[in-house]
């Protein structure tokens, strides 16, 4: 493992603990922790190695668009682990006066580019941003959109996919957090995508399929040169890192009790020692 990947792995580890704390705080209201945990390694790779938020001109930042907005708690966790949000801010998750809402709520200064929660819309926004940045002569920023595989059942995703290829937006990336599950069950049972990677390729994108928990692979694919928009179908495990949440639809949106929290934290601790 490279030094960089190891750093991202540490970020991911910290994020998982943050997510558990947020879920515990959410209490009986529940939290979308399953899909946040599946996306954690991807987002750790983005925040640890890919997204550049340190440019002097904020206009030149990378644009990370969190389309599966119900899992935005994973972005908050990444922000905390990389010093872009404080522990106190994280503790305000879902408070009425907090910017850390359960669904992504636009906050440009913090790098939350758009509000989300209504699925299928982030890629269209990304297409618009990519067109705008090209018009402005910005060849620095990348536009990275995170969607879920369940979300790919929305027709608008494919309208946007067509346009991303039509307009040759090679600075645009979509990462599909393909955890194989949605609220009502397994994607394959509810509305099967068949071959997602092949679909993106058929729509004119450079499309790759990787293990979404292999941080090194995520970084590598994002760094590989491309003259087309890039689709990364990242195979992931819903609830990754917490044994009783893994591959469990119940944890799409679940209530975490104190005992479960302690068990989950102990598992994370054990995994960290490995």
Partner 1 sequence: MINYTPANIKLWSKLGARSVYGSIAAPEMLEQNNKIIFVVADVAASAGLGRLTESWPDNLLNVGIAEQNMIGVSAGLASEGFIPFASSFAPFVTARAADQIRMSMAYMRLPVKLVALASGLAMGINGPSHLGFEDAAIIHSMPGVAIVTPADGLSTIKAALAAATWDGPLYLRLTGVTNMPVIYEQDFDFVIGKAIKLEEGSDVLIIASGAILHNCLLAAKKLRENGVSAGVMDMHTLRPLDTGALDEALGAKLFVTVEEHSRDGSLGYAIAAYLADKSDRPPLLRVGLTNYPHADTYAGLIESAGLSPDGIAAQIKEKLSGLSR
Part of the chain binding partner 1 (CB under 8 A), chosen from 9-17, 131-139, 202-210, 218-226: 131-139
Q: How far is residue 68's CA from residue 114's CA, in Å, rounded to a whole number?
A: 11
Does 176 engage in binding with partner 1 (CB under 8 A)? no
Binding mask 68-107 for partner 1 (x = CB under 8 A): --------------------------------------x-
List the end-to-end C-alpha distance of the chain, in Å, as a whole number: 14
Considering Cα of 230, then 236, then 241, then 247, what sign does the dihedral take?
Answer: positive
Q: How far is residue 268's CA from residue 248's CA, in Å, rounded to a whole number?
A: 18
Residues that contact partner 1, how many (by CB under 8 A) = 28
Q: How many CB atoms lie within 10 A of CB 240?
A: 21
Residue choice 11, 20, 129, 268 for contact with partner 1 (CB under 8 A): 129
Of residues 75 and 121, the one with the C-beta less far from partner 1: 121
Residue choice 155, 225, 227, 258 for contact with partner 1 (CB under 8 A): 155
Part of the chain binding partner 1 (CB under 8 A), chosen from 6-14, 32-40, 152-160, 206-214: 152-160
Q: How many CB atoms lie within 10 A of CB 220?
A: 15
Using left for φ > 0, alpha for ψ between -120 and 50, and beta otherwise, residue 247 falls in: left
Helix or strand holding residue 264 (H, E): helix 258-273
Of residues 133 and 217, the one with the C-beta less far from partner 1: 133
Torsion of CA 89, 148, 207, 235, to 10 degrees: 90
As measured in angstroms, the least distance from the Cβ of 127 to partner 1 is 5
As measured in angstroms, the least distance from the Cβ of 124 to partner 1 is 2
Does 226 engage in binding with partner 1 (CB under 8 A)? no
Residues of this chain that bind partner 1 (CB under 8 A): 106, 113-116, 118, 120-121, 123-133, 135-136, 155-156, 159-160, 162-163, 166
């Amino acid at each position: 493992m490279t030094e960089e990947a190891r750093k991202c792995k540490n970020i991911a580890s910290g994020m998982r603990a943050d997510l558990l704390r947020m879920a515990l705080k959410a209490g009986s209201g529940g939290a979308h922790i399953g899909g946040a945990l599946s996306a954690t390694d991807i987002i750790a790779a983005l925040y640890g190695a890919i997204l550049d938020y340190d440019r002097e001109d904020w206009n030149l930042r990378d644009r990370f668009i969190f389309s599966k907005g119900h899992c935005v708690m994973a972005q908050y966790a990444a922000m905390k682990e990389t010093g872009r949000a404080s522990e106190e801010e994280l503790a305000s998750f879902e408070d009425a006066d907090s910017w850390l809402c359960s669904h992504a709520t636009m906050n440009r200064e913090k790098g939350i580019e758009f509000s989300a929660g209504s699925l299928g819309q982030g890629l269209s926004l990304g297409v618009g941003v990519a067109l705008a940045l090209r018009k402005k002569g910005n060849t620095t920023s990348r536009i990275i959109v995170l969607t879920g595989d369940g979300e790919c059942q929305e027709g608008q995703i494919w309208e946007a996919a067509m346009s991303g290829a039509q307009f040759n937006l090679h600075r645009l990336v979509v990462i599909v957090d393909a955890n194989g599950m949605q609220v009502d069950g397994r994607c394959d049972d509810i509305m099967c995508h068949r071959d997602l990677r092949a679909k993106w390729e058929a729509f004119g994108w450079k499309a790759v399929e990787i293990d979404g928990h292999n941080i090194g692979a995520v970084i590598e694919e994002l760094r590989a040169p491309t003259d087309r928009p890039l689709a990364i179908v990242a195979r992931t495990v819903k609830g990754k890192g917490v044994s009783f949440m893994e591959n469990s639809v119940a944890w799409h949106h679940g209530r975490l009790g104190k005992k479960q929290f302690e068990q989950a934290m102990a598992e994370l601790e054990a995994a960290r020692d490995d």
